[in-house]
Every structure is written in structure tokens, then in C-alpha cells.
Amino acid sequence: MVRIDSSRLAELCGVSRGTVDRALNGRGEVNVATKARILRMAEKHGYKPNRLGRALVTGKTMTIGLIVLNLDNSFFAHLVSSVETKAREHGYMTLLALSHNDLVTERQCIDFFASHAVDGLIMLPLGNGTAYEKHLTAHGIPSVMIGNRLSKRWTYIGIDERAAMNDLIRHVAGKGYCHLIYYAPPLRHRGAVNLFAQEERYQGFIDAADAVNTLSHETVIDNTDMVTKVRSLMKKKRTAVICSNDIFAIDVIRQLTDAGISVPRDAGVTGFDNIEASGYFSPRITTIEYPTGDIGEAAIDAVLKKITNKKAEDILCTTRLIDGNSL
């Protein structure tokens, strides 16, 4: 079969090259019947767009780089899916890289995307500081931050972590709990990596707990024996463990249950993020729904604006309290 180019495909379909481009790449409005005819003809003649040739002409590769920490947590998997789906709607392919919670690896990811001339970059940054931002700026890639902020010069898409945690703590207090244990192992790494979201979440906890006169609270960031701590407190005060994400909440509930401490009868537990597993876990975890779908879509909209030299504002997406059975 002799391969054809876009000009020949347009001629065979009786349309312009621009219409062929829009039909094949999902950009702009194309009549449904016309699009179907173009797709059938492209398949019949084995047409494959020459993306390298297009990049040389337009200066665009139609690719967006995405860097997240890992895919171990379904939170990140849902975020990746949201970004990829929205990018594809605009004719862009998403290239994914994982930093694996390592600053050196993250820098390599950034450099890789720069060397492959991605049109834009979306990332949940592990690094921060002047030197880090200088390195990112040097590549000149239109970039959007999600989850963790850098400085104000970088567009940020996320949530109001403090307000979300405030809603959760007031809900816990309304359930009659008197003592709260905030459990956040990531805070052990403060000062070493970018923990903006975790730190904002923690400050929201402190502010909310201090504002409720009936609450006492403490914070655990190490491998303290949570079973012993909860057992010693629950006989004196109605105690709840406030975990900084759902993964930690699931782990704490398992530890307590294995030790014969019933959740929520003997102690309460909450999470944060509303990962899919939290809905199937027993008891269903009371948590905050992190709107990964909205954030992924907003991040694509923002990076596309930056690619076309338009201003992209910061966006805080709406969260929702999920009232489970763990309190």
C-alpha cells in the first residue's frame, strides 16, 4: 500500500488540510459525517500523520509532560487519567514520568521532557526553592503546578487544604470527640522536600482544633505505636485519629482492629483524599474528597493557555466531606 500525505487525504475527501487536521486530532468543530468520512479514508489508505514534520513546521509537538510522585496511590492514577483524557480532547498526547519521591529523579524527568520538546508541563513538584525554580525556568516550558505550590510566579491548581481540614475537624468535634491525634508521617521530611499540601493540611488541623474549646490534640509523625497510644487515651477521653490521607487511615484502622480496638465504637479514624479503596473498606472512612478530576481538567486548561501565551490564574477546586462510618 502506498502511503499518502495529508494533502492527498484532503483531496480524496474533498476537504481542506485544515479540516483533515481538526478531524484527526480532535481540535475545533468538524461535521460528524465529514469527520467519519475522513477517518474511514485515513484508515483505508493507512494514513499516519507525520508528527515530526508537523513539529518542524508549527514548532509544536502536541505533547504535554506530566510528573507525579508515583502510581502506588490510586489518587495519582485518577489524576493521571483525568489529565490524559482532557489533553486528548484537545489533540494532545500526555507523556508520563514518575519522580518516585526522589529529587534527583524529578530533575531528570524535567530535563527529559525539555529534551523532547514538550509543549507544556504539569507537575506535582517535590522540589522547591530558588535554585529549583531557576532550573525549571531555564528550560522555558509553559508549566502548571498541581498539589504543591512553588512561588506565586507559577500557576497553581489545587484545593484550599486548610478550609477542607477545618470542615473535617468541625465535623469530628460535632460527633463528640474530645481528643485528636493528628497522624502525618510525611511531615518527617519537612525542610527536605516540597510538602506544601501536607503542611497546609496540618495547619488547617491546628487552627480548627485550637478554635474548638472542647478539643485537646497532639501530633504524631514518627512510627509511634498507635495501638498503645489510642488504648491509653480512649479510657479517659473520646479519641479520634486524624490521618493526613486515606492510606494512613486504612493502616491505622487495621492496626486498631487487629488489637481488638473497634472503630468507631472505641475510637474514631478519618482520612483525606477519598481514594477508591476507602469506599470499599470497612468501616467506610470519613474523609475529604480531593477533586482529582476537576484538578486534572483545570490543569490542562491552564497549561494550554500558557502554551498560547495567555494568562492562567490559580484555581482552587471544591472539596466535599464524605461522612463514612469510621467516627
Bridge-based pairing state of the strands 320-322 and 287-289: antiparallel
pLDDT given for residue 270 in this prediction: 98
Q: Please, what is the Cα angle at 76 between 207 and 85, to 5 degrees?
A: 120
Q: Please, what is the Cα angle at 282 between 277 and 284, to 5 degrees?
A: 65
Measured in degrees and rounded to the nearest 5, phi and psi for residue 164 equal: -65, -45
Query: Per-residue pLDDT tens for 207-243?
Result: 999 999 999 999 999 877 889 989 989 888 999 999 9
**Pick from 45, 47, 43, 39: nearest CA to 19:** 39
Q: How many CB atoms lie within 10 A of CB 218?
A: 12
Query: Per-residue pLDDT tens for 115-142?
Result: 999 999 999 999 999 999 999 999 999 9
Query: Per-residue pLDDT tens for 9-19?
Result: 888 889 898 88
pLDDT given for residue 103 in this prediction: 97
Please give the Cα distance from 263 to 76 (Å, whole number): 27
Residues 6+ apart with CB under 8 A from 34: 13, 15, 19, 23
Concatenate the DSSP letters of all residues of 24-40 into one string: HHT-S---HHHHHHHHH
**Start-end of CATH 3.40.50.2300 domains in the chain:** 61-158+292-317, 161-289
CATH of domain 6-49: 1.10.260.40
Please give the Cα distance from 140 to 195 (Å, whole number): 24
The model's pTM is: 0.83
pLDDT given for residue 17 in this prediction: 85
Is the CB of residue 120 less than 8 Å from the CB of residue 110?
A: no
Kindly tell me if the per-residue pLDDT of 26 is higher than 80.
Answer: no
Kindly tell me if the per-residue pLDDT of 278 is higher than 60.
Answer: yes
**Pick from 289, 233, 228, 239: nearest CA to 263:** 239
Query: Per-residue pLDDT tens for 138-161?
Result: 999 999 999 999 999 999 999 999
Please give the Cα distance from 251 to 188 (Å, whole number): 18
Sequence length of the chain is 327
pLDDT: is 56 or 297 the higher one?
A: 297
How many alpha carbons fall within 13 Å on the CB side of residue 126? 21
pLDDT given for residue 57 in this prediction: 55
- Residue keyed to cell 486548561: 301
The superfamily in CATH containing domain 61-158+292-317 is: Response regulator (3.40.50.2300)
Query: Per-residue pLDDT tens for 27-66?
Result: 678 888 888 888 888 888 877 766 655 655 556 789 999 9
Residues 6+ apart with CB under 8 A from 64: 83, 87, 92, 93, 94, 95, 118, 119, 120, 121, 122, 300, 303
Concatenate the DSSP letters of all residues of 55-86 into one string: HHHHS---EEEEEES-SSSHHHHHHHHHHHHH
pLDDT given for residue 224 in this prediction: 79
Query: Per-residue pLDDT tens for 259-268?
Result: 999 999 999 9
- Paired strand residues for 286: 270
Q: What percent of the chain has pLDDT over 90?
A: 73
Kindly tell me if the per-residue pLDDT of 248 is higher than 60.
Answer: yes
pLDDT: is 62 or 23 the higher one?
A: 62
**How many Å separate Cα 135 from the centre of its chain?**
23
**CATH class of domain segment(s) 161-289:** alpha beta
**Mean pLDDT, residues 307-320:** 97
pLDDT given for residue 249 in this prediction: 96
**Mean pLDDT, residues 174-195:** 95
Mean pLDDT score of the chain, rounded to an integer?
92
Sign of the dihedral through C-alpha 24, 62, 89, 313 = negative
**Start-end of CATH 1.10.260.40 domains in the chain:** 6-49
